[in-house]
Amino acid sequence: MLAMTKDEAEAYARDGYIIRKGLLGIDEVNLFRERARAQLEAENRSGGVMTKGDKDGKATLLKMWTKAEDDQYGFLARDERMVDLAEDAIGKPIYLYSHKMTMKQPREGGAWEWHQDFGYWYNYGCLAPEMMSIYIALDKATKENGCLQVLKGTHKLGRLNHIRENDQTNVEQEHLEAALKRYERIYVEMEAGDALVFDGNLLHRSDANNSDTYRWGYIVSYNAVENAPFKRVREYGNYEPLKKLPAGTFRTLDEKAA
């Protein structure tokens, strides 16, 4: 089963998200995580990984790619399981907008405040909210280690005003407070390999990692082809044809290539 079921499509339209359990098998997620951990922690030691701070001074590590290269990250971004879910969510031909690793280290990873991804994608030249993301948990995600939280159904609010605070772009407080009163907050606890598929206008956040465990995730964002940016603001997000790959292609890479 690659694309959304009827029940999943209905839930996505109603709630703004679905959880696909076990999108990656246990062997797949273990391989992906081990390769990523070795590579990105080494890059972090040499200053090759970005950090994003929260209001309390804690930082989340972030690694972003501008296009899908022929490595495990680029291959998973083009994996048919991911692409088919994204195309069902958007309902139109799509392309890869961006992909990144977000890494909350034990006792260190910072919080992300409430925001909509389209809240800033709009400023990068995307006119319509025909955009979405898939977050794959590479470690078990719990309340204690800062799992994602969503406000169920808030994708129907449309794009809210956002402001820049610290290193983050967050929804303005007045509308956030109203949304928090009216919409149900869901803590999206996930097993490694589970995927959260969510709309670009869904309000979401995460707390700091106050546990002794890692909370790493891989996030891929997709855009409708016809919604490609009308101006070039960032190196990422600009249209390139998407070449879908068979499921699990990233597993064929040897460790050096990955």
* CATH code of the region 20-240: 2.60.120.620
For residue range 18-75, what is the model confidence (pLDDT) as tens digits?
999 999 999 999 999 999 999 999 999 988 898 888 888 888 899 999 899 999 999 9
Q: Are 107 and 251 in contact (CB under 8 A)?
A: no
Average pLDDT over residues 140-149: 96
Nearest by Cα to 134 from 32, 226, 19: 19
- The token pair at 171 is 């929804």
For residue range 215-252, what is the model confidence (pLDDT) as tens digits?
999 999 999 999 999 999 988 999 999 999 999 999 99
Per-residue pLDDT for 258 more than 80? no
Would you state the pLDDT for residue 7?
97
Would you state the pLDDT for residue 58?
87
Would you state the pLDDT for residue 114?
93
- Domain positions in the chain are 20-240
Would you state the pLDDT for residue 47?
86
For residue range 105-144, what is the model confidence (pLDDT) as tens digits?
999 888 889 999 999 999 999 999 999 999 999 999 999 9
Q: Are 58 and 109 in contact (CB under 8 A)?
A: yes
**One-character DSSP codes across 81-150:** HHHHHHHHHH-S-EEEEEEEEEEE-TTT---EEEE-THHHHGGGT--S--EEEEEEESS-B-TTTT-EEE
Reported as a pLDDT band with limits 50, 70 and 90, residue 2 is low
Nearest by Cα to 185 from 149, 145, 135, 216: 149
For residue range 150-183, what is the model confidence (pLDDT) as tens digits?
999 999 999 998 888 777 788 999 999 999 999 9
Would you state the pLDDT for residue 1?
47
Q: Are 14 and 23 in contact (CB under 8 A)?
A: no
